[in-house]
Structure 1
Amino acid sequence: MYYKACKLLGLEKNPSIVFYVILAYRDENSVASVKMFKVALNLCRAAKYEKLGLWLLRKMKEFNCRPDIVSYNVVIRLVVEKGELDEAMELMREMGLIDLYLDMITYISMINGFCDVGRLEDACQLIKCMKGHGCLPNALVYSTLLDGVCKHGSLEKALEFLGKMEKEDEDCRPNVVTYSTLIKGFVERVVI
């Protein structure tokens, strides 16, 4: 839906439309809602405009709208996709300051971002951090990490993670995604 809206609005050619709509709300003293901002943030996500998404997140406070976990996750994902991991980490810290608890989506976005740029140690640290904050990693989290290890690390390390997963509780046990990720990693490395 958001991709179609982006096309209809011509956001690819003119991302400032969202910017001007928000400013018009402010200039006319119109009431804005968190939902309106979420729609605008999802338009930014669909068009891959991280700077505009970050600007929107900051503007929410001006309209007495408290950003929620979904708003932050959209912007974190946008920032991570642009490779701005330090900015994304800062957003995570900011969430903690306003009593928003990081969820599985936040962690998966960050782990994926660290893996994409080969920062595997940072990705592993996030899994430890998750556990420390009571957000227990599941098979999807480990599969995301395994994908990064297969791309940038060693296949031996990937097998080591697989072994750890097999010893974890049911939510962390390897599944079809896990095995497909490993097979793909091995095939791409021409090991099989």
Structure 2
Amino acid sequence: MKSLEYRETAFGFFKFAFQDDSDEIVKSSCVAAHVLASQNLKLLAQDVVYWVIRRVGVDRRREVVEFMWKRHAEFESDFSVLDTLMRGFLKVEMSCEAMEIVGRMREVGLRPSSSAITILFKLLLRVGDHGSVWKLLRGMIHQGPRPCNHNFNAVILGFCRLGHVKVGESLLYVMQKFKCQPDVYAYNILINAYCTRGQTVDALGWMHFMINNGCAPSLVTFGTVINAFLQSGKYD
């Protein structure tokens, strides 16, 4: 895999080679992931773990976690192996298992990656696991990493897409308590949500609100509001 020039080619080779999901082959694949991670080839390590999880399925996912954890100290740090496992579960869309990895990180005193948490938020909202969304957000507030704009924007977008615009509004206010100043993307999410619902007056109100709070609208902001007024026949 290391000798191949492109990540996609290396991953394709591994998928071709991984034809047997016996315990011995799974263990060997986990060691391969460790070796790749130890040589700063984290993305390839994540590809290997993702494919192994996908092949063995839900029933054997705990085996993979234990295989990876058992010998990881010889090759990589606690955070490195758990982050690889978390991203593997995220890629195969096993949200409950990804949440378990977050829990294991907390147990050993680690903070999950903010970027991985953003992906997890999106997945949890897509599958409708709102309880885990709030649990994950509470965990970030109390144990870190501190929620950032990307985290809040992902959650606001997810709830707005589900039609829970008021929840999105509340989160926009809440994020300011954690030193996250709403950016143009956060406002655009809410404005678009109101426009989609035909509530153009509310959308325009939010545009004025963002301007008054020192956030300049983008071309997307104006385009969204103008299009909504045209769709509703309010040409004036």
The TM-score by the shorter chain falls in which range?
0.7 to 0.9
Provide the C-alpha distance between the structure 2 equivalents of 1:115 and 1:90, rounded to a whole number of angstroms.
19
Extract unaligned runs of 5+ from structure 2: 1-6, 8-42
- Equivalent residue letter for 2:168: A
SS of alignment partner, residue 143 of structure 1: helix
Larger Rg: 1 or 2? 2
Q: Measure how far apart 1:37 and its partner are.
A: 2.3
* Structural mapping, 1:80-95, within 5 Å: 80-95=125-140
Equivalent residue, structure 1, for 2:72:
30
Equivalent residue, structure 1, for 2:202:
157
Q: Measure how far apart 1:49 and its partner are.
A: 2.2
Give the one of 151, 160, 164 matched to 1:106.
Answer: 151
Q: Does 1:76 align with 2:103?
A: no
Give the one of 192, 202, 212 matched to 1:167.
Answer: 212
**Count of residue pairs the alignment pairs up:** 187
Equivalent residue, structure 2, for 1:66:
110
Percent same amino acid at aligned positions?
17
Q: Measure how far apart 1:12 and its partner are.
A: 4.8
Contact 2:118 2:150 in 1 (8 A): yes
**Cα 1:45–1:8 shift into 2, 3 Å:** closer
Contact 1:57 1:75 in 2 (8 A): no
**Cα 1:178–1:49 shift into 2, 3 Å:** farther
- Equivalent residue letter for 1:118: G
Contact 2:159 2:168 in 1 (8 A): yes
SS of alignment partner, residue 163 of structure 1: helix
* Structural mapping, 1:123-134, within 5 Å: 123-134=168-179
Contact 1:85 1:114 in 2 (8 A): no
**Cα 1:152–1:186 shift into 2, 3 Å:** same
TM-score normalised per structure 1: 0.78
Q: Measure how far apart 1:33 and its partner are.
A: 2.6
Task: Report which stretch shifted further, 172-181 or 127-136.
Answer: 172-181
Provide the C-alpha distance between the structure 2 equivalents of 1:164 and 1:88, rounded to a whole number of angstroms.
27
Contact 2:102 2:112 in 1 (8 A): no
Task: Report which stretch shifted further, 7-16 or 83-92.
Answer: 7-16
Equivalent residue, structure 1, for 2:51:
9
* Structural mapping, 1:42-53, within 5 Å: 42-53=87-98
Extract unaligned runs of 5+ from structure 1: none
SS of alignment partner, residue 68 of structure 1: coil
Provide the C-alpha distance between the structure 1 equivalents of 2:203 and 2:179, rounded to a whole number of angstroms.
24
Provide the C-alpha distance between the structure 2 equivalents of 1:48 and 1:185, rounded to a whole number of angstroms.
35
TM-score normalised per structure 2: 0.65
The CA RMSD over aligned residues, in Å, is 3.2
Q: Measure how far apart 1:103 and its partner are.
A: 0.8
Provide the C-alpha distance between the structure 1 equivalents of 2:62 and 2:198, rounded to a whole number of angstroms.
41
